[in-house]
Amino acid sequence: MTESAALPPTIDPATDVLPEELSQAVYGFFNRIPFNRHLGIEIDELRRDCVAMSLAMRPELIGNFTQGILHGGAISSLIDVCGGAMALIGAFDRHAHLTVQERMMRLSKLGTIDLRVDYLRPGRGEQFVCTSVPLRSGNKVGVVRSELHANDGTLIAVGTGTYLCG
């Protein structure tokens, strides 16, 4: 993760390390979605209180060919994928009372109910980092707030996603 998208200094990453089982679940869901690989999204950090993912600019992701800026669909996709991972982490703990098989069955139904993206500035840069934090993690629905920054620290877009979690 770049310095420009660094998390607030009040967060101690050592206290929020995910259990291996949860980390594997997030990577498992993420890697089974071909579109994530097609876009080139990378997982940078997984914690209980924050998920960070990045995307390198490529010619295939240009939305405005005259200005060479990142396509709005790539921006919203990164915000959605990062937010979905954050919702998955919250839901995983909410379903801790279930057997592993029941928990995975419920989590396999995770999906986006609503996604609002505010595009604040053109997507200029070589690398983009999205960070997502939970706003609410309920039994059925999770709400996540996301920010997308360019590698120079410019805030490109913000989003709020609502996800079906159980």
Cα–Cα dist 154/143, whole Å? 24
The one-letter code for the residue type at 93 is: D
Structural domain spans, the chain: 16-164
pLDDT digit string, tens, across residues 104-143: 888 888 899 999 999 999 999 999 999 999 999 988 899 9
Mean pLDDT of 152-159: 98
- Bigger pLDDT: 108 vs 12: 108
- Tell me the per-residue pLDDT of 25-46, one tens digit each, with 9 for 90 and over: 889 889 999 999 999 999 999 9
Reading the block at residue 74, the tokens are 């790539």
Domain 16-164 has CATH 1.10.287.3510: no
* Cα–Cα distance for residue pair 150/166, rounded to 1 Å: 33
141: number of Cβ within 10 Å: 16
